[in-house]
Amino acid sequence: MNRLFNLMRRASAPAPQVGQTPADVVHRENKWRLLRYRPRAEGIAHATPVLMVPSLINRHYVLDLMPGKSFAEWMVEQGFDTYIIDWGTPTDEDRYLSFDEICDRYLARALRVSTRFAKTEQAHVLGYCLGGTLAAIHAAVRPERIATLTALAAPIRFEDDGLLSAWTRARGFDVEAVVGGFGNVPWQLMQGAFHLLRPTMTLSKAVSVIDRAWDDAFLDGFFAIETWGNDNVSFPGECYKKYIVELWQEDALIKDALTLSGKPVRLKNIDCPVFAITFEHDNIVPHESARVLLDRVRSRDKTHLHLAGGHVGAVVSKKAKTTLWPQLAEYWAARDGDRSAKKSGKAAKPGKAAKAAKLAEPGKPAKAARTGKKRGLAPPKHAKVRSDS
Amino acid sequence: MNPWELYKKYFNVWESATAQYMEHWLKSPLILEPAGAMLSASMKFKAEADKKAASFWGNIGLPTKQDQERALHKLNQLESKLLDLEEKLAEYEAK
């Protein structure tokens, strides 16, 4: 009974506050923005900034869910200079926005702006889900500004025995017609497809909520994830065509048949440290489809971390704070750029520090090679900053 | 075992079996092909209707929705190119 009373009380409570970590808009272009989370008061402890690239389909604040359950907030607490791309909401004219514009031009700009702010040559790039695919494609063509590439549940091989693979290859599914009719592919269509991946999930969630209705902390997290899960964005039409035809139907990325702005995309061109993270119960990106990145890149420094959990839960749950997040932080700290090189105007050399650190066994976080000192927080001269807290 | 725990136990068994059964059918060409064809056909119909409406507005000399979308997209592309130039200028200034 208490559970039901608690649930009824929650029904009239205001919606959970999501994406609360204070951030400044450091760049704005078309609908997307680059946010820089405000560094902690003690200053930044790591020379190389971290750029987070979320999926195009969902909102960026999954990585900044709510106070106490926010990866971004936690990263700031660890002393990282943290940036995230907010892809924004495409409007009707963005039906002509191409995959190449997003993956090449926009991502390159986000890297340039974040490294300029951080006064480094390179940034650690974390791509989540489709964001990881975009980051890997970008890294294969424009590796210059990428210190390390972290692919978090990012599909690389699209032909698998999953439902999404079967649906996109179904005879009768005409992508041209869908984009021609809709313009931007509506989020309702994509959300419907994701619900169909496990149609009984809604009932399962209802049972879980009733079962743990006494637990306010659980309910806070649950409603925050639900808020995020129901706040989707439509997919730019032209971009969707390439995404479905070349990535899903032709599996062109793994076959080295993809091009980005006319340049061939070869995963073997990636030689920076690569970290692939996969989840055992991920029903959106089967773990083998994501892990295969490590087989294709040329990097010597390759790390695979396989964790229990699903596509979203394993990244934002309370458990992630003690499993996934510390391993990410230690991975980046161990490969932090050389501060003295940066001060003298040379490129930071990620990877050097990594040699000094023992690392890479999944489940056994390594010791960070160095943490660095505090440094100034002033943005570059011509930078435009807007508050977005 | 209390009734709620018992219910949960049977619910989990049912949920898992139902999900597997539905996954099987949702992968089946018997479902996928007609569903894909229906979606494509309705989209082709919508695109054709939009085209007819656009030609009506075009005939009386007014820009269509797609004309405006194309123009706006070009403006966005122009903005990106200006930002490229600004970045290059800033680089030269810094040197």
Q: Which helix (H) or strand (E) holds B79?
A: helix B65-94
Residue for token pair 């699209």: A158
Model pLDDT for residues A190-248, shown as the tens digit of each residue: 999 888 888 898 999 999 998 888 888 888 889 999 999 989 999 999 999 999 999 99
Beta carbons of A25 and A34 less than 8 angstroms apart = yes
DSSP B21-57: HHHHHHT-HHHHHHHHHHHHHHHHHHHHHHHHHHHHH
Identify the CA nearest to A286 among candidates A151, A128, A160, A130. A160
Query: Is residue A311 among the annotated active site residues?
Result: yes
Dist. CA A90–CA A32, nearest whole Å: 9
Q: For residue A297, give both structure tokens.
A: 């890149």
- Chain A residue closest to B67 (CA)? A93
Query: Is residue A195 among the annotated active site residues?
Result: no
Amino acid at A137: I
- Chain B residue closest to A210 (CA)? B4
Dist. CA A322–CA A333, nearest whole Å: 17
pLDDT along chain A (389 residues), means of 10: 74 82 96 97 95 95 94 97 97 97 97 96 97 98 97 95 88 91 94 88 90 87 90 95 96 96 97 97 92 96 95 91 96 77 40 37 36 42 50
Query: Is residue A27 among the annotated active site residues?
Result: no
> Whole-model pTM?
0.86
Please report the number of interchain residue pairs, chain A to chain B, with beta-carbon separation below 8 angstroms: 106
Model pLDDT for residues A73-95, shown as the tens digit of each residue: 999 999 999 999 999 999 999 99
Chain B residues in contact with A310 by the CB 8 A cut-off are: none
Nearest 5 degrees, angle CA B90-CA A85-CA A267? 90
CB spacing of A182 vs B43 below 8 angstroms: yes
Identify the CA nearest to A271 among candidates A132, A144, A108. A144
- Chain B residue closest to A30 (CA)? B76
Beta carbons of A385 and A26 less than 8 angstroms apart = yes
CB spacing of B40 vs A163 below 8 angstroms: no
Give residue A76's region: left, alpha or beta (phi > 0; psi -120 to 50).
Answer: alpha
The answer to whether the complex's ipTM is over 0.90 is: no
DSSP label at residue A352: H
Chain A residues in contact with B72 by the CB 8 A cut-off are: 92-93
Contacts of residue A139, Cβ cutoff 8 Å, sequence gap at least 6: A125, A146, A149, A270, A272
Chain B residues in contact with A202 by the CB 8 A cut-off are: none
Dist. CA A346–CA A126, nearest whole Å: 23
End-to-end CA distance of chain B: 76
Cβ of residue A182 closer than 8 Å to a chain B Cβ: yes
Name beta bridge partners: A128. Answer: A152
CB spacing of B27 vs A196 below 8 angstroms: no
